[in-house]
Structure 1
Amino acid sequence: MSEIDNTFVKLRARLRELDIKLWQEPYYHEDVGSIESEMDRLSEQLSGELGISVSNCKCALVELQDSALRKLTARKEFNETGMATFSVRCVDSKGGTVQIIEIKCSLNALGLDLQQEIANRLKLSNASYVKCISAGKIVSSNSTLNDQGLNNNQQLMVIIGSKESTNSSDGNTERGSVLYERIAKIKADIESVVDADGRFFEMEDQDGNAIFLPPNENRSLLMAMGLCEKARAAMRRENYDEALLLLLEADEHFAVCNSQFLESVDNYALLNLDIVWCYLCLKNVTQLPDAQRRLDICERNFERSYGKNLKRIRSIRGSSCPERALIMRLHLLQGVILFHQNRRDEAYEKFEEASQALAELRVDDDQLTRLIDMGYDVADARLALRSCSGDADQAILFINNRREKLNTARADAQTERLQQNRLAADNADQDWVNPRSVCQLTDMGYERGLVVEALKRTKNDIPDSVDLLQFHADELGADLQTTPPADEQLLNILHQLGFPMALVRIALETTQNDMKRSVEFLLKSQSDENQLLQVIDNMSQTLSGNPDDQQQQPTSSSNARPFIDISSSKLQLIETFLTMAKSELESYKAYTRFNEDLTMNDNDYLDLPLIQEEQILIEYKNLLER
């Protein structure tokens, strides 16, 4: 933040206190314009009161007066013509605000019309390259501005990507296209991975325990968390414009999740904290009201998750819990917001809290290097040292104990996830059943089929399910379907396509000999990309009439796949299966792309080096002293 920005903060607040309106007499007369003598007198008065130079005070007052007059003109035009005026601030990660333009557009127009107006002014060929942000939301192209709550004289933030990001080998890449295409690709990859039914993404808590939610809510939450992971990767590269767009997309997915669940975990708090951090790093204060709202949400969620003053988390993790780094960043951002509201005493208190936390969180470089040289990941090492008050020997024990707990929890979760997969196959398009509840009740000695039926009826209420199992088991059993044996012809056909015989039998029995669902089951059971490629090759050869010359192979081997004469209707199905298999392969590739710039550390979100935070803290504390 510059000294002139500090001057504006002071002046705006003082003018409000004195109820001075620069667009009215004696400072402005409609027939004459600005009254320079009065502006000079006011500059002299306020410069002494606020401790700023007369020249800087005069320049700032003139700019504030011009801004007020432009808003009055825009208000008059809006009342007469219905055309709204927007002050559009174009930002990028390299220099914050790079351009400010004025755009006029009817509030009854679609968001796309506003994007097109901005694109025309910026000489962009595609309006989709323009991402407008209003009150913390990306302006939708398909809804009217009025429906989205935009107002006349509103300031908008626009992201189109920096010029540096458009460098390409042919030199013809248009500004804005690179960021637009990158965001679109990231979203498509995350959708592909999330829709792969848990083979790539699985939710767990900080201790490695599986988390299960109803399918629709589970999908929304996984989409949101995937976008947050890519946003943090962009933040590590200091691409805050890209990160902000991804975080705002994630916010839309979080919005459809159960509010009670979001209030019990820290993910939503972290999202809001990261969004405000991006606002700050993009040097943009036009989103100040949204930043205040998000920090309030963050503070409330942290209190629910961690307890007041970290009381709950300290009781679990100890007094030196690494979550303190997040609280430090929260206090710093709260101080910045208070500073821009000219609540300087309150800002000072927040900066002092952040400064104290920063001192406690500092890690000795020699101790950190020692752990890294021993083979520990830098994030694990830093978090462990912070959790153990800088004691390297205790930090080593901390890392090893945490890994052991995670491995144990994840091993236990595997049983529950297997139940999840079986239930997904058994209950397609039916009521969702919580696999953890299935495990809990089967461990009590109840038959799995009866347990699933009871949980369906009670909507996963365990006490009611136990009551049904104890007193109405016969009634539950009457509703269970008898599982037919695997059809031999289908068994051989699917085996011929390259799937293991034992797995084919399970798939057919699970799906009651539904060939299409069996193939879906089998494709999703492939453990790696190479297995999937082999299946695709077998399907292609079967369709071409040359099933790898398998009819020539001896049939005495248990692994041999004798050629089966397949009917034309079954061949048409196999064509469909080939398309499904190729789609599945794309999911593997999407997952590979998704992971390209991610760290594999589970606690990456806690590993804040705090270098930027320290620089910002020093900058704002210096401004407070002036």
Structure 2
Amino acid sequence: MEEQNLEVKLKQMLKEEKIQLWNPPFTDDESSCDHMQALAERFAPLLRLQVPEVGGALEAIRQQAVSRGKGNKTYRESRVATLELLLPRGCSQDSNTKKHLETKLDVLVQEVVDRIGEEFGLKYIKLILNGKTLSADRPLDQQGVKNHSRMMVLKVSDAEWKLHQSEEEEKKKNQNQSLQRTQKGFQILSERDGSEDSSPFLEIADQKGNPLKIPPEEKKALILAMGFHEKGRSLMKKKQFENALSHLLQADQQFSLCGSSLLLSVDNFAVLQLDVVWCYRALEALSCLDDGRSRLQRAEECFLKCYGERRQRLLLIKGNTGREEVLFLRLYLLQSLLSYIEGNDAQARHQLSKVEALYSRLCPDSDKMAQLMSLGFTERESRLGLRACEGDLQEAAVHISNQRQEREELKQRERKKRSRRLEVIATLTELGYSRRDAARALHHADGDVDRAYEILLNSSGSFQVTEGSIEQLLYLGFQREVSEAALRMTGGDVQSATQLLLDQQGALVESPSSEEPSTSSSHSAEEDSELVNEVLEDISRHEEDYLDLTLEEESELIATMKSYLSRGHTHAV
């Protein structure tokens, strides 16, 4: 990272002075060495670095430029690309581990691996581009390799290679399965509307826990987006960043199907952008710099819209802003990192100073944490409570107690709502409707019993499937489900329904294409239940889990950034 930082700064200085190292007097000139030395001596004091270090970096830039110029010409004329290889230490005769390889881009990676292995005497290797291992059985261009791409060559032992191959295959298989199962599980949940009493369903609520009215299609996309995001966050906690990134990018795709007004009214979208860039950082995928920069910008814009310019909207909704400040700490920290990589040390320092100020406020005091936990509060409650109350112990205890009471009141309201709903369904069932139809009608009527009754009347035409009619068919030996279906299909006429069931040998279903409805539907229901339970495990039971950052990873990155940024100030000139 430090090497990249120096290189960017030197390139900027060369650009400002319009110096072209690939042209005379720096290249193809008898005095080129003298000119390069003079340039290093002039730039070194400005950067507060040693002359040899700056000279080495300038020479590397010059060689890159010369090589790139030749490579561009070759690529234009023959479509043969020049790739830069960063070889393992000790496998080339000179100290420079950077080598170039010319190849077409439509060839398989395995072909390039074989060439590198033969040329440099490497038996088992893998190629890394932008933090990702290239698949040997796919062409270079299909995996993002372009003219002048830089690739790292990693050497592995015989045993490691075999293990790596089997692990890669297993990892790929598991990753694809995980994506598919997550999608399927949340797809099922997104299609549930709460009309099935025994089935869990998801409801999208505001920051106070009140359900939001969202158009059905948009709600589906939002539930899938949030589902993939939750799964991705769960994998991030396990440090499985590559797999996490796959799920987060799927979430991003689903969020794009939601209306922009919805995205700007909730902070989920902004948090997702931060999580994606945090994964880039963990995977050292510095080539995703441009994408990372735009994602952080989108996150900042979304936070401003959602929370207000000075967090006033958030203050109005939640009464405090302390818990959400960790999101800004991570935002500024990632902005500082990207600024440093781009060679903008001043901006990196400015952002890092904001990070350190926030960190000192948000890092919980261990004694206060212990005191709150001794009162029976959880570690999460204690941490979030102290942040919400800016470290005030007494206020934090009161705040946590109030939050507990609010959550309990919300549960009580939900219980009453459910109890009232069950009473209404029972009333409609007594009028002769099936429990399932009554529940669906009540859901579509937003709990209004009169409207639900109207819906049932309209959907069943001029007849009602009465319990008496069903019992007559049950007495004849038919199952309840097929009896209800037959009565609906025959307008409630018991004689016609009986004849229909006799013709179908008692196996009537409303979708006649299925020959064995009970077995297949039962099997499908079991699979659905398994998938739903699996994805629900990744959803945090605490609505503020995404704010409960321990700041351990952030602390490590802060220390790293400080060491990088102090380097230029401590070197002798």
Q: Provide closer, same or farther for how the CA distance between residues 167 and 88 of structure 1 changes in structure 2, counting only shifts above 3 A.
A: closer
Q: Distance in 1 between matches of 2:99 and 2:239?
A: 22
Q: Distance in 2 between matches of 1:411 and 1:283?
A: 47
Quote the offset at 1:102 in angstroms. Answer: 6.6
Match of 1:567 in 2: 505
Match of 2:24 in 1: 25
Quote the offset at 1:245 in angstroms. Answer: 2.2
Aligned residues: 507
Quote the offset at 1:45 in angstroms. Answer: 2.0
Quote the offset at 1:480 in angstroms. Answer: 8.0
Instruction: Indicate whether 1:46 and 2:50 are aligned.
Output: no
Q: Distance in 1 between matches of 2:314 and 2:560?
A: 31
Q: Distance in 2 between matches of 1:38 and 1:433?
A: 84
Instruction: Indicate whether 1:439 and 2:446 are aligned.
Output: yes
Report 1:238-253 matches (<5 A).
238-253=239-254
Per the alignment, in what secondary structure is the counterpart of residue 311 of structure 2?
helix
Alignment-mate amino acid for residue 439 of structure 1: D
Residue deviations 1:526-572 (CA, integer Å, cap 9, x gap):
xxxxxxxxxxxxxxxxxxxxxxxxxxxxxxxxxxxxxx998275499
Q: Distance in 1 between matches of 2:522 and 2:548?
A: 39
Instruction: Indicate whether 1:616 and 2:554 are aligned.
Output: no
Q: Which runs of 5+ in 1 are unaligned?
A: 91-98, 124-128, 454-476, 515-563
Quote the offset at 1:330 in angstroms. Answer: 0.9
2:274–2:295 CA contact under 8 A, matched in 1:
yes
Q: Which runs of 5+ in 2 are unaligned?
A: 88-97, 118-125, 193-199, 426-432, 491-501, 569-573
Residue deviations 1:145-165 (CA, integer Å, cap 9, x gap):
79x9x795475899x9x999x
Quote the offset at 1:217 in angstroms. Answer: 2.7
Instruction: Indicate whether 1:600 and 2:544 are aligned.
Output: no
Q: Distance in 2 between matches of 1:227 and 1:143?
A: 29
Match of 2:220 in 1: 219
Match of 1:13 in 2: 12
Instruction: Indicate whether 1:301 and 2:302 are aligned.
Output: yes
Quote the offset at 1:604 in angstroms. Answer: 1.1
Alignment-mate amino acid for residue 174 of structure 1: S
Q: Provide closer, same or farther for how the CA distance between residues 387 and 167 of structure 1 changes in structure 2, counting only shifts above 3 A.
A: farther
1:266–1:302 CA contact under 8 A, matched in 2:
yes
Q: Distance in 2 between matches of 1:418 and 1:143?
A: 59
Percent same amino acid among aligned pairs?
25
Quote the offset at 1:293 in angstroms. Answer: 0.6
Quote the offset at 1:294 in angstroms. Answer: 0.7
Quote the offset at 1:350 in angstroms. Answer: 1.6
Range that drifts further, 615-624 or 348-357: 615-624
Which structure has more relative contact order (CA 8 Å, sep 6+)? It is 2
Per the alignment, in what secondary structure is the counterpart of residue 27 of structure 1?
coil
Q: Provide closer, same or farther for how the CA distance between residues 189 and 258 of structure 1 changes in structure 2, counting only shifts above 3 A.
A: same
Match of 2:498 in 1: none
Quote the offset at 1:392 in angstroms. Answer: 3.9
Q: Provide closer, same or farther for how the CA distance between residues 511 and 206 of structure 1 changes in structure 2, counting only shifts above 3 A.
A: farther
Match of 2:313 in 1: 312
2:388–2:396 CA contact under 8 A, matched in 1:
yes
Match of 1:555 in 2: none
Quote the offset at 1:305 in angstroms. Answer: 0.7
2:314–2:321 CA contact under 8 A, matched in 1:
no
Range that drifts further, 357-366 or 377-386: 377-386
Q: Distance in 1 between matches of 2:441 and 2:73?
A: 60
Residue deviations 1:288-332 (CA, integer Å, cap 9, x gap):
111111111001100111111312112332344300110111112
Per the alignment, in what secondary structure is the counterpart of residue 49 of structure 2?
coil
Residue deviations 1:415-438 (CA, integer Å, cap 9, x gap):
59979x99xx879xxxx99968x4
Alignment-mate amino acid for residue 275 of structure 2: D
Q: Distance in 2 between matches of 1:75 and 1:399?
A: 63
2:207–2:317 CA contact under 8 A, matched in 1:
no
Report 1:96-495 matches (<5 A).
152-153=146-147, 155=149, 174-196=166-188, 197-198=191-192, 199-409=200-410, 438-439=445-446, 442=448, 447-448=451-452, 481-482=461-462, 484-485=464-465, 488=470, 492=474
TM-score by length of 2: 0.72
Quote the offset at 1:272 in angstroms. Answer: 0.7
Match of 1:466 in 2: none
Alignment-mate amino acid for residue 446 of structure 2: C
Alignment-mate amino acid for residue 180 of structure 2: A
Quote the offset at 1:362 in angstroms. Answer: 1.9
Q: Distance in 1 between matches of 2:74 and 2:102?
A: 13
Q: Distance in 2 between matches of 1:35 and 1:163?
A: 41
Q: Distance in 1 between matches of 2:286 and 2:486?
A: 57
Q: Distance in 1 between matches of 2:140 and 2:463?
A: 54
Alignment-mate amino acid for residue 588 of structure 1: S
Quote the offset at 1:270 in angstroms. Answer: 0.7
Q: Distance in 2 between matches of 1:206 and 1:157?
A: 45
Q: Provide closer, same or farther for how the CA distance between residues 511 and 366 of structure 1 changes in structure 2, counting only shifts above 3 A.
A: farther
Quote the offset at 1:373 in angstroms. Answer: 4.5
Alignment-mate amino acid for residue 382 of structure 1: R
Q: Distance in 1 between matches of 2:487 and 2:32?
A: 84
1:266–1:301 CA contact under 8 A, matched in 2:
yes
Per the alignment, in what secondary structure is the counterpart of residue 221 of structure 1?
helix
Match of 1:547 in 2: none
Q: Provide closer, same or farther for how the CA distance between residues 132 and 61 of structure 1 changes in structure 2, counting only shifts above 3 A.
A: closer
Q: Distance in 1 between matches of 2:544 and 2:535?
A: 18
Per the alignment, in what secondary structure is the counterpart of residue 286 of structure 1?
helix
Instruction: Indicate whether 1:69 and 2:69 are aligned.
Output: no
Quote the offset at 1:56 in angstroms. Answer: 1.8
Quote the offset at 1:279 in angstroms. Answer: 1.8
Quote the offset at 1:581 in angstroms. Answer: 2.1
Instruction: Indicate whether 1:590 and 2:531 are aligned.
Output: yes
Q: Distance in 2 between matches of 1:483 and 1:268?
A: 48
TM-score by length of 1: 0.67
Residue deviations 1:117-165 (CA, integer Å, cap 9, x gap):
7888899xxxxx999879x9x99x999979x9x795475899x9x999x
Per the alignment, in what secondary structure is the counterpart of residue 287 of structure 1?
helix
Quote the offset at 1:596 in angstroms. Answer: 5.3
